[in-house]
């Protein structure tokens, strides 16, 4: 009898597996993929945008900008992205509660469409302010998606796959970083005339999400617990799981719904006041802050300057940059198996800085040693912190506290990214004076990853 049932059950199981996979891809392509893509894509046109800013200013005032102001304007363009991310992180919680997870991701593409229009016409309009506003808008998009996508996927996946599915957000982030670096090659859209199209290409992932995500189900957990719609929840579960064993999962959702009955969604500041959540919030704050303070994400925006300081030949810099994104993509795929090891390796490499290069002609091997340290640092970042930190709020908090926890974690991460993004180019300039001809260490100090190790040791085990 079992042999007779197997052929009929197998196609249905495959269909449900495909729907879950399509849900992961549709949420990811317009979600954390956009974060990684817009984080790295600004690196290729660095010199072109700086020249455009200087030329625009000179055309308006008759005088060129001093070098330090050009550097300041560039750091502002880069750092407006995490500032927008901060606004998006604060917006994500209310959006997730009022519109739902899926609709929030769809509405979020308004920011991408607006930014792509600004980027595309900035050169013709002779306005670097349009680039700044566009960077702010794609940042808002990234801030919303980075909080809602793990929430949506974690609530849609079956219990046994929930962690792995939620960590797919890190894979899409790394994939976005690599794609942004590849599209930014001089042979593609990285040339001096094509950079407006390069920045506006963020419209493509947004269009793919708008075309695919409406065909897929909403989070069953949101439909039942937040909306109280049992029929819609059951329909979503059937699409995601099939018509098989749904009684156990539905009973579990009903229990959580009963526990949340009469409770309202928690506000971010209430998490810090609740004694029972204090340990979870502390882990969230420490790990989320330290993840950005290490400077790994800022490297992708300033990678060309970093490798130029390291002495990499100009013609090979763009290929070295692709190597950084490929390292994180590789480790993101295998991060589930190596999370614990990643924290320790990261902390060790943070305290082992790339050596200075006083004379390249005398010590050519230091160039390769510096690059090896950079790649090893990124590899260890991808193994541990990159994947696991983003899903902490999903794993450690219940339905009523989860949106607020995502807001807290997201806001802290973006604030730290703003600080590091603004200071990174000036730290490199300062380092060039302190270490003649040397490479400024990417990990500025071991303190952030000492925090990470502390947070990992005190991380409460999810129920």
Q: What is the CA radius of gyration of the chain?
A: 23
| Co-location of 73 and 112 in the same domain | yes
**Is 11 a domain residue?**
no
**Is 133 a domain residue?**
yes
Domain final position from 216, 231, 254: 216
Query: Which is more confidently placed, 75 or 343?
Result: 75
Decide if pLDDT at 8 tops 60: no
Domain final position from 198, 233, 263: 263
| Co-location of 148 and 228 in the same domain | no
How many domains, the chain?
3
36-62 pLDDT per residue, tens: 899 888 888 888 888 998 889 888 888
Residue 342 has a pLDDT of 46
**Is 291 a domain residue?**
yes
Decide if pLDDT at 267 tops 80: no
| Co-location of 228 and 161 in the same domain | no
Decide if pLDDT at 425 tops 80: no
**Is 9 a domain residue?**
no
| Co-location of 320 and 255 in the same domain | no
**Is 166 a domain residue?**
yes
| Co-location of 316 and 400 in the same domain | yes
Decide if pLDDT at 207 tops 50: yes
Residue 441 has a pLDDT of 44
Confidence of residue 264 (pLDDT cuts 50, 70, 90): low
Residue 84 has a pLDDT of 92
pLDDT, averaged across the chain:
76
What is the average per-residue pLDDT within 10-19? 62
pLDDT more than 70, % of the chain: 72
Decide if pLDDT at 402 tops 60: yes
| Co-location of 279 and 388 in the same domain | yes
What domain range includes position 75? 16-216
166-205 pLDDT per residue, tens: 778 888 988 998 898 889 888 888 788 889 999 999 999 9
């Amino acid at each position: 009898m079992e042999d007779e049932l197997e052929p009929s059950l197998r196609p249905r199981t495959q269909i449900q597996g495909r729907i879950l996979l399509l849900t992961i891809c549709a949420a990811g392509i317009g979600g954390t993929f956009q974060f990684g893509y817009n984080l790295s894509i600004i690196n290729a046109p660095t010199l072109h945008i700086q020249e455009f800013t200087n030329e625009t200013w000179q055309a308006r005032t008759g005088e060129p900008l001093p070098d330090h102001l050009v550097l300041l304007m560039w750091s502002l363009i880069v750092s407006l992205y995490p500032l927008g991310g901060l606004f998006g992180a604060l917006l994500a919680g209310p959006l997730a509660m009022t519109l739902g997870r899926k609709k929030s991701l769809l509405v979020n593409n308004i920011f991408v469409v607006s930014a792509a229009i600004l980027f595309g016409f900035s050169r013709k309009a002779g306005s670097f302010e349009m680039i700044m506003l566009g960077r702010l808008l794609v940042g808002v998009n990234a801030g919303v998606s980075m909080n809602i996508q793990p929430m949506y996927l974690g609530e849609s996946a079956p219990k046994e796959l929930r962690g792995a599915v939620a960590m797919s957000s890190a894979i899409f982030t790394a994939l976005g970083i690599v794609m942004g670096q590849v599209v930014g090659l001089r042979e593609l859209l990285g040339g001096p005339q094509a950079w407006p199209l390069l920045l506006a290409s963020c419209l493509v992932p947004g269009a793919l999400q708008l075309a695919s995500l409406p065909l897929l189900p909403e989070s069953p957990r949101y439909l039942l617990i937040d909306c109280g719609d049992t029929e819609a929840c059951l329909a979503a579960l059937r699409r995601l799981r099939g018509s098989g064993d749904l009684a156990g999962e539905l009973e579990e959702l009903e229990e959580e719904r009963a526990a949340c009955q009469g409770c309202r969604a928690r506000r971010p500041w209430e998490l810090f006041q609740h004694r029972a959540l204090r340990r979870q919030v502390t882990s969230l704050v420490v790990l989320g802050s330290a993840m950005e303070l290490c400077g790994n994400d800022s490297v992708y925006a300033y990678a060309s300057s970093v490798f130029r300081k390291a002495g990499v030949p100009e013609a090979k810099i763009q290929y070295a940059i692709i190597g950084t994104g490929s390292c994180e993509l590789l480790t993101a795929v295998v991060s589930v198996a190596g999370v614990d090891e990643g924290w320790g390796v990261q902390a060790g490499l943070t305290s082992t800085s790339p050596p200075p290069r006083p004379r390249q002609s005398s010590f050519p091997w230091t160039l390769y040693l510096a690059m090896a340290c950079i790649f090893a640092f990124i590899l260890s970042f991808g193994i541990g912190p990159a994947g696991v930190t983003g899903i902490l709020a999903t794993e450690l908090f219940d339905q009523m506290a989860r949106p607020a926890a995502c807001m807290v974690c997201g806001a802290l991460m973006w604030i730290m990214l703003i600080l590091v993004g603004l200071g990174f180019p000036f730290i490199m300039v300062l380092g060039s004076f302190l270490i003649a001809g040397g490479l400024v260490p990417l990990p500025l100090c071991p303190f952030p990853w000492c925090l990470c190790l502390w947070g990992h040791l005190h991380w409460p085990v999810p129920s």
